[in-house]
A = this chain, B = another copy of it.
Amino acid sequence: MNLETPCLVVDEAIMKRNIARMAEVAAKNGCKLRPHTKTHKIPAIARLQVAAGADGITVAKVGEAEVMAEQGLSDIFIAYPVIGTGKIARVLALNRRIRLIVGVDSIAGATALSEAALADGQTIEVRLEVDTGMHRTGVGYEQALEFAKTLAGFSGIRLTGIFTFKGLIYEGKATLDREKAGLEEGRLLVDLAEKLRQAGIAIRDVSVGSTPTAAYAAQVPGVTEIRPGTYVFNDTMLANLGVCSPEDCALSVLTTVVSRAADYAVVDGGNKTFSTDAAQGVFPYYLKGYGRTVGDDQLILERLSEEHGIVSILPGAGEIRVGDVLAIIPNHVCTTVNLHDKLYLRRDGRIVGEAAIAGRGKVS
């Protein structure tokens, strides 16, 4: 099968191995796995994760939850505040069909959810998001106990867990000590859960962990669930961090050389094909260009226009001509997948199918 480039290709065996390994991490530590599906946004892959042992999935958006529920996923955590009457109505509709859990981090959000659920005769399961250093959503760690007490008093919602995303590595502040980071993340939330229980709040789920930290966070007694996402495909960023090996990267972007100059080539993928959030300069120092060229580290995807990728040809690089196809492992696979409508599946070196990235564009 001749693929039109640029396009995404996923090696099925590598993906399945990644899925199995993370399931094993959870199993051997006796905690649950609820993978974040924002990386692939494909119901069929989410079902593979569940079949391999995941206890449900995580999404960021109500629209993603809807797509996943339509395709048979029946236990979904929207790890994001649900704000606005339209979104709350959609959450209530989903809650009738599947087990749904929703993130909460404000009194305003909790009040609106509570009132709508009560009016509809429903109860929505919620988890309190706690900020452990990422400084985005989540109530402050020191304020969490008071907040949880208030939440516990609401009708129409039932507080069953707490969660956090520490995300230090993705913010470029990596100490590279993933073990320390994961253990700290887990202990912070387990300690908090204990405090809440002592105050009479029945916290069942303690949910932490990203791909770099999940294996360590899972070891902390009291952590009940990990929520890694990127591990399903892995990417150049994770390989450079040592979280995976280059051979564990399941997804590559196929591009065609469309132009040649003396010391560079141009491929048919620019910043509408490769994401730019994980770029050298603004991001971890160890990134060189916008991805890693499979089989030739002297070909660096160094500069992107919208539809042009300028590949610097360093000394020692192989011959490269107009028409050649380069496979490039993107720096950040989640945001790169988000630029595409579909991906191709490769088995034993052959393309065996394609999958629509059904949750892509379901931004609200």
Contact = CB atoms under 8 A, between A and B. Distances in A.
A109 B2 CA distance: 18
A304 to B, nearest CB: 7
A86 B4 contact: yes
A221 interface: no
A361 to B, nearest CB: 4
A60 B281 CA distance: 28
A307 B80 contact: yes
A272 to B, nearest CB: 5
Contacts of A307: 38, 60-61, 80
A321 interface: yes
A142 to B, nearest CB: 12
A103 to B, nearest CB: 9
Interface residues of A, number: 66
Contacts of A281: 281-282
A48 to B, nearest CB: 22
B137 A266 contact: yes
Chain A binding site: helix, strand, loop or mixed by DSSP? loop
A264 interface: yes
A176 B93 CA distance: 53
Interface string A55-89: 00000110000000000000000001101111100
B364 A310 contact: no
A85 to B, nearest CB: 8
A112 to B, nearest CB: 8
A271 B81 contact: no
Given A4-B86, A277-B276, A322-B106, A264 B363 contact: no
Contact of A135 (B5, B137, B264, B276): B264
Interface string A284-326: 0000000000000000000111111010000000000111000
A228 interface: no
Interface of A: 2, 4-7, 38, 60-61, 80-81, 83-87, 105-106, 108-109, 112, 131, 135-138, 140, 167, 170, 256-261, 264, 266, 268-269, 271-273, 275-277, 279, 281-282, 303-308, 310, 321-323, 334-335, 338-341, 361, 363-364
The 7 A-B residue pairs whose C-beta atoms are closest, nearest first, are A4-B364, A341-B361, A108-B322, A137-B259, A81-B258, A60-B307, A136-B308
